[in-house]
């Protein structure tokens, strides 16, 4: 089962984990990304391309399901204005064994960060704003999976 | 009848243009994403500044990633945006 959700609302990790657990298997891996306090960050504004976002996330989840034996994949990503410490993204994978669950969760996050059409704009405590730029380390992490498959 | 294409912009591309979408008519010889971008650059001003460096931009045709050389085919929507930064 694949569950994709994109919107402004926060998520309930217990509820989402139970949903994945209910699909069988004994290994569940999850990742939660939150707004990091790096000193003088006020808030983040997350923009996305609604017509493309869910399609892109579905494709990532389908690829993960084709490459690992997964019972369930959940991807939830928030948009709109978020404060320091707020949840941004949740990925949960369920499988029979931990290796598949953990690897697939890692794969999904690496791809999400480089493929899913979201953009972050930060507002500093002094009021200045800036669009966050792509990180080379994220691109490398994403490409490493493609190389591994070849 | 002339072909038309909806172009949608996101993040700093949208902000710098002051525009989130527009419809353009596709003249003779406009066959690829790069052709559309060159048409935008030819408008000059902020378009020329933003679209001159293709390496800073990403493209999607009908919500699937494309490259500058990708043919437009029968696509209805071209999206132009910076590299993504979600997660």
DSSP-assigned letters across all residues of A64-111: HHHHS-EEEEEEEEE-EEEETT-EEEEEEEEESSHHHHHHHHHHHHHH
Q: Are the C-beta atoms of A94 and A103 separated by less than 8 Å?
A: no
8 Å CB contact of A131 and B79: no
Find the CATH number of the domain harbouring A43: 3.90.1170.40
Taking only the tens place, the pLDDT of each residue in A19-30 is 999 999 899 999
In A, which residues are within 8 Å of B10 by CB distance?
47-49, 117, 119
Domain with B51 in it: what CATH number? Answer: 3.10.20.30
In a domain? residue B48? yes
**Cβ of B45 under 8 Å from any chain A Cβ?**
no
Residue B86 within a domain = no
Q: What distance in Å separates residue B58's CA from the closest CA in chain A?
A: 10
Query: What three-state secondary structure class fits A132?
Result: coil
Is residue A146 predicted with pLDDT exceeding 60?
A: yes
Domain annotation covers residue B87:
no
Residue B39 counted as domain residue: yes
Tens digit of pLDDT for each residue in B3-33? 899 999 999 999 999 999 999 999 999 999 9
- Model confidence at A150, pLDDT cuts 50, 70, 90, reads low
- The SS3 call for residue A30 is strand
Q: Do B79 and A132 touch (CB under 8 A)?
A: no
* CB neighbours of residue A80 within 10 Å: 12
> Is B66 within the bounds of a domain?
yes
Q: Is residue B29 part of a domain?
A: yes
Range of the domain at B71: 3-81
pLDDT tens digits, A1-49: 999 999 999 999 999 999 999 999 899 999 999 999 888 999 999 999 9
Task: Inspect the interface and report whether the beta carbons of B10 and A115 lie closer than 8 Å.
Answer: no
**What domain count does chain A have?**
1
DSSP string over A47-63: EE-HHHHHHHHHHHHHH
The count of structural domains within chain B is: 1
Range of the domain at A53: 2-149
Asked if the C-beta of B50 comes within 8 angstroms of chain A's C-beta atoms, the answer is no
């Amino acid at each position: 089962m694949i569950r994709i959700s994109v919107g402004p609302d926060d998520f309930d990790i217990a509820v989402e984990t139970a949903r994945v657990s209910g699909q069988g298997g004994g290994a569940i891996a999850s990742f939660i990304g939150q707004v990091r306090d790096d000193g003088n960050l006020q808030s983040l504004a997350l923009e996305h391309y609604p017509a493309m976002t869910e399609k892109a996330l579905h494709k990532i989840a389908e690829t993960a399901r084709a490459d690992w034996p997964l019972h369930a994949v959940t991807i939830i990503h928030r948009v709109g204005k978020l404060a320091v410490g707020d949840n941004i993204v949740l990925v949960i994978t369920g499988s029979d064994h931990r290796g598949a669950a953990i690897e697939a969760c890692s794969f999904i996050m690496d791809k999400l960060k480089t493929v899913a059409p979201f953009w972050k704009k930060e507002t500093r405590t002094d009021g200045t704003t800036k669009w966050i730029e792509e990180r080379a380390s994220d691109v490398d992490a994403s490409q490493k999976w493609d190389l591994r498959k070849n | 009848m002339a072909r038309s294409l909806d172009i949608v912009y996101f993040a700093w591309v949208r902000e710098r243009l002051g525009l989130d979408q527009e419809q353009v008519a596709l003249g003779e010889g406009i066959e690829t994403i790069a052709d559309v971008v060159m048409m935008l650059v030819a408008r000059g001003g902020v378009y020329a500044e933003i679209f001159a460096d293709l390496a800073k931009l990403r493209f999607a045709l009908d919500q699937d990633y494309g490259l500058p050389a990708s043919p437009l085919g029968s696509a209805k929507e071209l999206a132009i945006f910076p590299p993504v930064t979600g997660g």
